[in-house]
Amino acid sequence: MQSPFDEKQLKELDKPLDKRFVSDRKGASNRKLRFLEGHDAIDQADRIFGYGCWGYETLSCEQTIIIDPMSSEPIGVCYKAKVRLDVRGCMPVIEVGSQPVSVCSVEDYIMGKRRKDASEKNQDVDDSPFNPFEISTARSIIMEAHEQAEKGAVTDAVKRALRTFGEQFGNGLYGDGKIPMVDGDTLTEDELKADWAKVYRVAENEVETRWAKFKVWALQAQVSQLTADDKVALYGKIEAQRQKSA
């Protein structure tokens, strides 16, 4: 089958991604995670495919409650989107994306701000009833957080779809899904366990028991000694949960 791209486009698609487009942030175990910003991915598509020669349609975008698989308790809210990407001459690509809502509780927002203020001023945390200004501010912040998460889910889906076209869209930066590749030999079980307990908010006296159950659930097997591949798989599960509940 003949390629829908001309020689110049194929040459661009085969080039390594310019490092100036690569952003990073800290993930589990303080490891640096690399990714391509949504606006950069769109700029790349315009540059390589041409203006008006590609586009996407949002097929759905829904709000979802995140449930802790260990306790069955709700721990956060995220938006999940599905988009269809069309590039002239190519088969359409359908992908999904998600984005957590950064803050979704009036109480959590107000008490978090009060705790921060108390820590900065070296004072006791204010536990008085919430005042109208605090409530109004929290509601505005939450509304904005939902709007940003909804848009972010669509952008995430578009980025995933564009990765079909290779390195110029950051495909080489990632492993399975959104979880960047890591070297399992550099991870220790103690590091993974500490990250997992923090992300899943596990009480100290329940860590050992629940960690054993989590490993069985995540690996779909009971193992006595973690291999490098096992540790990468556990890292991926923990990082995915961190992104959902961030």
Rounded Cα gap, residues 158 and 153, in angstroms: 9
DSSP H or E stretch at residue 80: strand 74-87
User: Tokens in use for 241?
Assistant: 């949960």
According to the model, what pLDDT value does residue 67 have? 85
Rounded Cα gap, residues 189 and 19, in angstroms: 32
With both helix axes pointing from N to C terminus, report the angle between 189-199 and 207-219 in degrees, rounded to the nearest 10: 100
According to the model, what pLDDT value does residue 125 have? 93
Amino acid at site 20:
R
Tell me, yes or no, if the pTM score tops 0.75: no
Regions in the chain scoring below 50 on pLDDT: 176-180
According to the model, what pLDDT value does residue 20 have? 83
According to the model, what pLDDT value does residue 179 have? 44
According to the model, what pLDDT value does residue 210 have? 93
- Reference 175, options 239, 226, 218; nearest CA is 239
According to the model, what pLDDT value does residue 245 have? 64
246 and 99 in contact (C-beta within 8 Å)?
no
Rounded Cα gap, residues 244 and 242, in angstroms: 5
